[in-house]
Amino acid sequence: MSKPYRPKDHFFQKAKTEGYRARSAFKMEELANRFHVLRKGARVLDLGAAPGGFLQVISDAVGPTGMAVGVDIVPIRPFAAPHVKTAVLDVLADDFHAKLDALEPGPFDAVISDMAPKTSGIRTTDEARSLRLAGRALETALRSGKPGSTFIAKLFMGGGFEEFRDELRAHYQDVKVVRPEATRGASMEVYLVALKLKGPRP
């Protein structure tokens, strides 16, 4: 039986104490530590970045010699660090990639998506919307990621999940399915961590 959602749980309080904008920062922290996906000097794209919890962890990890780019359909409170760029962009828009290139062209060492749809309460609808966002994130990763780069995407478990994982396996050397400790008990979400984007065929 899943745990009830408690908005002011341990991770909520910990985020406030440690100065993170959202409890989701601990998900990024766990993924980064487990899979070594962030390093000094790296260039990282964060999709669905508001309010900025993931971006705080990414910014600290890549440091001033790196670049952290965060986009969302809602504004992200600005960061003081010059190596962090944010913008209001819609990943589903036809001109998204052109606007992303204008903001900060690739290639990136990691493309990370914490995007999730507004839930309708209809499970099949929510799963389909989640899959669409994850697919768009993958399209961006394949377009803007370096060979050897990492892709991480949040996805609701359900219809189309296995097919999406198989697609990742076709493009990346290793794919893991992870449910970070900071995930809310009742949530359907998991993260797919795809390591080492395969380079173009010779």
- Could you list the active site residues? 154
Whole-angstrom Cα distance, residue 36 to residue 32? 5
Q: Which residue has the tokens 């790296």?
A: 42
Whole-angstrom Cα distance, residue 144 to residue 190? 23
Whole-angstrom Cα distance, residue 128 to residue 160? 8
Q: Name the residue among 136, 197, 133 with its Cα closest to residue 169.
A: 197
Q: In 10 A of CB 22, how many CB atoms?
A: 20
> 122: buried, middle or exposed (CB in 10 Å: 19+, 13-18, 0-12)?
exposed
Q: Name the residue among 196, 153, 159 with its Cα closest to residue 177.
A: 153
